Amino acid sequence: MPTTSDYNIHKAYVTPPPHEPGFYIIVASMQPHLSPRDNIVRSVMVFFSDLVITQTRQKGQTEFQIRNGANGQLEKGVKLLIYRFNYGKKNTLEATLTTDGEGRAIFSFK
């Protein structure tokens, strides 16, 4: 970011360069190095894919819909693994779903 003379909070938006689908970790550092000493380092995990996942929650269930990001078409036969996050313990697989002909899969809460 450009140097600023005020002490206000500023934002900057960036577009990542072309990349292969997959998981990435994006790291930002206040200093040119990544050492935590006299520095503020932040990171975020990002997943890039050609699939778009939307979810709608209502009445004890979540409906997922999967689309092709390039053309918006619904994707049938996509496998979804639903995990329960257990803080301090091993996460558990709750369900394995497959999208139907309309690109939908529904998970019902227990």
- Give the pLDDT band of residue 86 (cuts 50, 70, 90): confident
Is the overall model pTM greater than 0.75, yes or no? no
pLDDT at residue 56 is higher than 90: yes
Domain boundaries, the chain: 51-108
Q: Which residues of 6-32 are buried (b: 16+ CB within 10 A; e: fewer)?
A: eeeeeeeeeeeeeeeeeeeeeeeeeee
What does pLDDT average to over the chain? 89
